[in-house]
Amino acid sequence: MTIDEVSRPGRVAAPGEAISAEELALAARNHSLPLEALRWEITPPGLHYLLVHYDIPMVDADAWRLRVGGLVDAPLELDLAALRALPARSVRVTMECAGNGRARLEPRPVSQPWLVEAVGTAEWTGVRLRDVLDAAGVRPETVDVVFTGADHGIERGVEQDYQRALPLSEARRDDVLLAYAMNGAPLLPQHGFPLRLVVPGWYGMAHVKWLVGIEAIDREFDGFQHAVAYRMRQSPDDPGEPVTRIAPRALLVPPGHPDFMTRTRIIRPGPLTLEGRAWSGRAPVDRVEVSVDGGGTWIAADLEPIGEHPWAWRRFTAQWRAEPGSHVLTARAVTADGEAQPADQVWSRGGFANNATQRIDVLCTD
Amino acid sequence: MTIDEVSRPGRVAAPGEAISAEELALAARNHSLPLEALRWEITPPGLHYLLVHYDIPMVDADAWRLRVGGLVDAPLELDLAALRALPARSVRVTMECAGNGRARLEPRPVSQPWLVEAVGTAEWTGVRLRDVLDAAGVRPETVDVVFTGADHGIERGVEQDYQRALPLSEARRDDVLLAYAMNGAPLLPQHGFPLRLVVPGWYGMAHVKWLVGIEAIDREFDGFQHAVAYRMRQSPDDPGEPVTRIAPRALLVPPGHPDFMTRTRIIRPGPLTLEGRAWSGRAPVDRVEVSVDGGGTWIAADLEPIGEHPWAWRRFTAQWRAEPGSHVLTARAVTADGEAQPADQVWSRGGFANNATQRIDVLCTD
């Protein structure tokens, strides 16, 4: 066995190729939100989706330090107490994996095989990233700010600490946090204990967990997770566009009760309130539509107004009188910019940002 | 679409048949323990394995009641305050899904496709089931005690509330709890809020979540989860034996760091401490052995003594000097009764209790 056998290039499954043992092993490790948990405005601990590129590190909070360096006037080394002494700020965020929807693509990029459930909403508390950058005196020639996590592994032949960057303007946003708490409690190990980056509106890969380093650099960051992974490519030699903000999506709570194996829903005839949640990291969701005939016809859902939490999902409901027979339920979000969730897949070689509408099979019986 | 199409009989995959879309959907819903989380003695919230037969119910704790009836002198209806007023007791329990190891079977029973990670350890707090049975005055002719959860669904054509039973002698054990807390906090929704049964030593199907009813009956319970599911059958007409207590198992924390896609481990040459956890719901684990050549040769591991927590996993360690090249790591637990984990699969049509030893591929490079 060689490194090349252990860590292979990315690939796309052959047409009709079934889920591999390796994809199943990733699905077993990485947790998604069971769709009935869309009922909770704040996702209960343990039900928020989770993607871990390598292993969850076991971090000793006492020994842990955050180092801030690069193009700064005063490099910093901060412990948790120093961070907690800075002004605290909370933000409610719906976070989604960029790979959500990947396993529904045809052909299927071979990686973590998410269906539609890689999402969750949490209240994150921490300090503004901007306050820490200001304390270090980030120099004006800075282009990107690079974030390094304590997680370490190998990916397509490249051994690496997990690293992602933000352009300086994005890093200085008012609501970008270095978070040490999730829903009022210290971060869980799997969500980045003791500190993670939170970038409201961006897909999950930007929210670097187990943060140990921040570095200001004078160029665009070209690390693996930018230059190789997380790009919307159509072919291996396509440079592609970077994956950044979350595409609009609406998900229904599957109504009634399920069959164990097929997860098909059984409902009784009569009036029924359908409910779900919708979100977008781009323009805000302006309306949600629901269909009970697989997208043939649509009805307008009642959508909660944007309240105090512009980065969190919003609940929608729709009334339906179910009649005996088979139904296919789906929903779509449309943003204030007119971007609508498509019925067809959004395909890229990495399988990113596929926000094709959900499909719920329902059987209505007496 | 008809009920027979929605909810089909159990089946075994054809030889070599790949993981189906339905199995993948179950793997996405049901969470396993990422193996590096074996490092924690008590599994952090959200990393404990989770199997939900139907949906996670959203229970209103104020309206919730536990009803105790059947062959009792004084039927009870208890709210949470009444349960909390009874003497509290805690027990640390390693819980494992009876289907753990199913996806490694050949041929593979088609159901939740666990590999080896459907396990977790928690400290459960609640009241002794026996105290509640005594308060209700369970009559001596009682044979089984039946537990009903608030989760509802259809399985192989049978619509049902989830129900399991215990023989009266087992129900009256000193350490069988009606638990309202997990690791010192109220139960999480997915772990049975507001109340679940905890039966130390038994596979997870016995620990009924979202408990709403307890009924004493004068015969062996013959509900779906006893008479149809959770039996060790070799053929469809084999009556089989019931699945009860957890077979011995040892799992290693995969050393070094992983490749993202293959999860193969990369390590450096030199001395290394291998660590893991071992448990059994049958006779206690007496020793653990570790192999770095796929089970060709074995070395004795250092195993933590049984302490205050006889139902919890115990840590083991083994020293290894890694040399460049490929290695296959595995471990096996042997109980005080001489029951050893097998290298070969334990096959049944339902895919239960397959405690075949783990396999970790490791590449040691400079």
- Architecture of domain B3-242 in CATH? Alpha-Beta Complex (3.90)
pLDDT computed for residue B45 by the predictor = 92
Q: Mean pLDDT over residues A56-63, rounded? A: 97
Residue A195 has pLDDT above 90, yes or no: yes
Scan for tokens 């990107």, then name that residue.
Answer: A144
Alpha carbons within 13 A on the beta-carbon side of A146? 20
The pLDDT assigned to A41 comes to 98
Residue B366 has pLDDT above 90, yes or no: no
- Averaged pLDDT, B211-226: 98
The answer for residues whose C-beta is within 8 angstroms of residue A292's C-beta and 6 or more apart is A320, A322, A327, A328, A329, A362
DSSP string computed for B248-295: PEEEEPPPSEEBTTT--EEE-SEEEEEEEEEE-SSSPEEEEEEESBTT
Binned at pLDDT 50, 70 and 90, residue B97 comes out as: very high
Distance CA B47, CA A189 (A): 9
Q: Best mutation site among B55, B188, B266 for testing chain A: the one with the most A CBs within 10 Å?
A: B55
> Alpha helix (H) ranges present in chain A?
3-6, 21-29, 80-84, 129-136, 168-171, 224-227
In terms of Cβ atoms closer than 10 Å to its own Cβ (0-12, 13-18, 19+), residue A185 is: exposed
Nearest chain B residue (CA) to A193 = B44
Looking at CA atoms only, how far is residue A134 from chain B in angstroms?
35
DSSP string, A156-174: TTEEEEEEEEEEHHHHT-T
Domain ranges in chain B? 3-242, 249-364
Q: Which chain B residues are closer than 8 Å to A325 by Cβ?
A: 1
Q: CA A83, A58, A123: angle at the middle one, nearest 5?
A: 50
Q: Give the torsion through C-alpha atoms of B277, B283, B289, B290, to 10 deg.
A: -40
Q: Do B103 and A29 touch (CB under 8 A)?
A: no
Q: Taking each helix axis from N to C terminus, what angle separates A21-29 and B21-29, rounded to the nearest 10 degrees?
A: 20
Identify the closest residue of chain A to B24 by CA–CA distance.
A24
Please answer yes or no on whether B26 and A262 come within 8 Å at the CB atom: no
Contact A241, A349 (CB under 8 A): no
ipTM of the complex: 0.96
A1 pLDDT band (50/70/90 cuts)? confident
C-beta neighbour count of B277 within 10 angstroms: 28
Q: Over the stretch A242-273, which tens digit does the pLDDT of each residue have? A: 999 999 999 999 999 999 999 999 999 999 99
Does residue B351 have a pLDDT over 90? yes
Write out A23-56 in H/E/C secondary structure. Answer: HHHHHHHCCCCCHHHHHCCCCCCCCCCCCCCCCC
| Option in A44, A53, A258 nearest B190 (CB) | A44
Q: What share of chain B is helix, strand, coil (3-state, %, to 5)?
A: 15, 35, 50
Residue among B3, B4, B6 with most chain A CBs within 10 A, to mutate? B6
Class of domain A249-364: mainly beta
Tell me the torsion sign for CA atoms A173, A175, A176, A180.
Answer: positive
Rounded to whole angstroms, the Cα distance separating A170 from B25 reads 36
Collapsing DSSP to helix, strand or coil, B112 comes out as coil
Average pLDDT of B92-116?
Answer: 98
Question: Residue A231 above 90 pLDDT?
Answer: yes
- Average pLDDT in the A272-280 region? 98
Residue B154 pLDDT: 97
Residues in chain B with CB shorter than 8 Å from the CB of A55 are: 34, 36, 254, 257-258
pLDDT score of A337 more than 90 = yes
Give the distance from residue B223's alpha carbon to the nearest chain A alpha carbon, in angstroms: 16
Mean pLDDT (chain B) is: 97
Average pLDDT estimate for B277-288: 98
Looking at beta carbons, which residues of chain B come within 8 Å of A23?
A: 19, 24
pLDDT > 90? residue B107: yes
Residue B16 has pLDDT above 90, yes or no: no
- Alpha carbon dihedral B350, B351, B354, B357, in 10-degree steps, equals 170
* Residue A96: DSSP 8-state: E
Average pLDDT over residues A210-223: 98
Q: Tell me which chain A residues have a C-beta less than 8 angstroms from the C-beta of B364.
A: none
Tell me phi and psi for residue A22, to 5 degrees: -70, -40
| For B10, nearest residue in chain A (alpha carbons) | A261
Mean pLDDT of A132-160: 97
User: Residue B353: CA atoms inside 13 Å, Cβ hemisphere, count?
Assistant: 22
DSSP character at residue A72: B
The answer to whether the peptide bond before residue B107 is cis (omega within 30 degrees of 0) is: yes
Distance CA B350, CA B225 (A): 12
Same CATH topology for B3-242 and B249-364: the answer is no
- Residue B1: pLDDT over 90: no
| Chain-centre distance for alpha carbon B238 | 24
